[in-house]
Amino acid sequence: MTFDVIIAGFGGQGVLFAGQLLAHAALDAGLETTWYPSYGPEMRGGTANCTVVISDEPIGSPVTERPQAAIVMNLPSLVRYEPLVRPGGVLVVNTSLIDRAVERDDIDAIAIPADDVAAELGNPKLTNMVLLGALLARTSALTTAQVGATLERVLPARHHHLLGANHAALARGAELATEAAARDATPTA
Amino acid sequence: MARELLKGNVAFAEAAIRAGCEAYFGYPITPQTEALEHMAVRMPELGRTFVQAESEVAAINMVYGAAAAGVRTMTSSSSPGVSLMMEGLSYMAGSEVPAVVVDVMRGGPGLGNIAPAQSDYTQMVKGGGHGDYRQIVLAPASVQELIDHTVLAFDLADRYRIVSVVLADGSLGQMMEGAELPAMRPPRAADASPAWALSGAKGRDTNLISSIHLDPDEEERFNHHLQAKYAAIEAAEIRYEEHLLDDASIAVVAFGTAARLAKTAIAGERAAGVAVGLFRPITLWPFPTDALRDLSERVEAILVVEMNMGQMLEDVQRVVAERCPVGFFGRTGGVMPMPEEIAARIRALAVELGAAVSDAPEEVRT
């Protein structure tokens, strides 16, 4: 099993942290993992992305041109990564900030209004966790329970009052993704 | 020690501390600055020396001074900063003092950019400073190796009174990967300075650390002494990895990050029926000459892959000496050769050699 995902958005949306959390969780699950960040000058106020690879074998390349999955948190990221996701792969789209529909029909596109969901949950900073939950629900590398448990370990103690909200965000993202999948699978008359 | 998710730059800095580094001198430069930041916190905590120098020129001369005093010392930097250190490295070679330098390479020449590259190969392997000198050059391909090579670099530097270089690149410095740090070594006893060091001459004859030999005959004798030392290192310290080469007709030769990118390409091509493997020099100097020569007699073709325009390629060509064709694929200026591109080059070579392979390169990755 080898799984790779690119998480992309504006700097400040929690793109790098979401990827690190995923990598920590993979390591906790006894798997191999790499986390590779964009670290160019464009990071300051511009776009940020990271690639996470998870495998049960030693990992060669920490980067890929054709990821199995992508989370796109803003429009420039959708434009850049939609064409690159492998056929049959997963694309999680933050529709709160992206008003263009996914054009491809050979990938599993999941529309999640993540900023709105985060606001409903009471903290706009939870957007990344909502989207991560959606990804986990539709891929098989790790479960939301595994990632949630890892969050407890890696989140500094001073932020532990936010654990409940983060767990809720992961769960809500997963729930929305599962509901969307059920809708897609229902035959229309 | 448990495996933890570690960023390359932090991992090698902490590894250096645990290997007994007593003094760190450096100047910030992306993509290695996290190492300096880690040292700035940890070294004072442990009562050891950390100095952010006014430039890389100053930093390497501080390393020279500390090394001459018998202190376990290091610096780290990235390509443009390392270029500034060349004079100091030559003087250290001429004085036979041990030290460790970590170069987290980035795109060049000149100020270039901060993206990963391997274009300091020639500078570090052939000696960017003046004079007939060598330094041990280790080329890690993972965060774990970045840790292990940093520890090894200190031990080899001490054993041979030589500068050891860990030649990493921006991607290794910036990425996080599961890795295990070594246990903390106990600090060296205050009276355990090497006999040659400038540790205070009270009660013994004075030592002299210098790279000046004004008499040409004397300088030539000193050079012969250095060459004998280098020959001993070549005899004892060559390291390399062979991956899937037993039945291979094509060998990719690559070091560091380029080698791990190639491993993904090789896995895909293997799945498509191409008999391809990887030869990875781990010590770039001493270069694994004999092993590569043997390999060139077993395979039908070699493909050198680098994140530069063909610097190690010249060494591979010299060793292979036309026993088999040597192809090259490189990306440079901070661009990484993606596994898909490498796979296409391997595939083209396989087709040229008449191998029966499936139609398109497989989209398999490990």
For residue B297, CA distances in Å to A17, B172, B316 come to 49, 33, 13
A125 lies within 8 A of chain B by CB:
no
CA distance A18 to B218: 62
Q: Where do the structural domains in chain A lie, given as residue ranges?
A: 2-185
Residue A29: per-residue pLDDT: 97
Give the mean model confidence (pLDDT) for residues A25-54. Answer: 88
Residue A187: per-residue pLDDT: 65
Q: Is B365 close to A60, i.e. CB distance below 8 A?
A: yes
Residue B186: per-residue pLDDT: 87
- When scoring B4, B32, B177 by the number of chain A Cβ atoms within 10 A, the one with the most, hence best to mutate, is B177
Residue B64: per-residue pLDDT: 98
What's the ipTM?
A: 0.94
A2-185 folds as: Pyruvate-ferredoxin Oxidoreductase; domain 3 (3.40.920)
Asked if B305 and B252 touch (Cβ cutoff 8 Å), the reply is: yes
In this structure, the number of other CB atoms found within 10 A of the CB of residue B353 comes to: 15
- When scoring B29, B176, B331 by the number of chain A Cβ atoms within 10 A, the one with the most, hence best to mutate, is B176
Q: Is A63 close to B174, i.e. CB distance below 8 A?
A: no
Distance from CA of B170 to the nearest CA of A (A): 9
pLDDT at A46 over 90: no
Q: Mean pLDDT per 10-residue run, chain B (366 residues)?
A: 93 98 98 98 98 98 97 98 98 98 97 97 96 98 98 98 98 98 89 90 93 97 98 98 98 98 97 97 98 98 98 98 96 96 97 76 49
Find the angle CA(B132)-CA(B134)-CA(B135) to the nearest 5 degrees: 155
- CB contacts of B178 in chain A (<8 Å) are 27, 32-33
Asked if the bond preceding A124 is cis, omega within 30° of 0, the reply is no
Q: Could you report the per-residue pLDDT of A99-156, keeping only the tens digit for each? A: 999 999 999 999 999 999 999 999 999 999 999 999 999 999 999 999 999 999 999 8
Residue A189: per-residue pLDDT: 47
Q: Is B171 close to A27, i.e. CB distance below 8 A?
A: no
Asked if the bond preceding B286 is cis, omega within 30° of 0, the reply is yes
Average pLDDT, chain A: 93
- Closest chain A residue to the Cα of B172, Cα to Cα: A36
Q: Is B115 close to A40, i.e. CB distance below 8 A?
A: yes
- Give chain B's domains with CATH numbers: 4-196+210-236 (3.40.50.970), 241-352 (3.40.50.920)
Residue B355: per-residue pLDDT: 73
DSSP E strands in chain B: the ranges are: 4-7, 23-26, 49-52, 73-77, 99-105, 136-138, 163-169, 176-179, 240-243, 250-253, 276-281, 283-285, 301-306, 326-330
Nearest to B88 by CA among B39, B26, B40, B29: B26
- When scoring A51, A61, A150 by the number of chain B Cβ atoms within 10 A, the one with the most, hence best to mutate, is A61
In order, the DSSP letters of chain A are -EEEEEEEEETTSSHHHHHHHHHHHHHHTT-EEEEEE--SGGGTTSEEEEEEEEESS----S--SS-SEEEE-SHHHHHHHTTTSPTT-EEEEETTT--SPP--SSSEEEEE-HHHHHHHTT-GGGHHHHHHHHHHHH-SS--HHHHHHHHHHHS-GGGGGGHHHHHHHHHHHHHHHHHHHHHHHSPP-
For residue B236, CA distances in Å to B134, B231, B277, B283, B316 come to 15, 9, 25, 11, 20
Please say whether the dihedral angle defined by the alpha carbons of residues B39, B46, B85 and B239, taken in this order, is positive or negative: negative
Beta-carbon pairs below 8 A across chains A and B? 79
Q: Is B171 close to A62, i.e. CB distance below 8 A?
A: yes
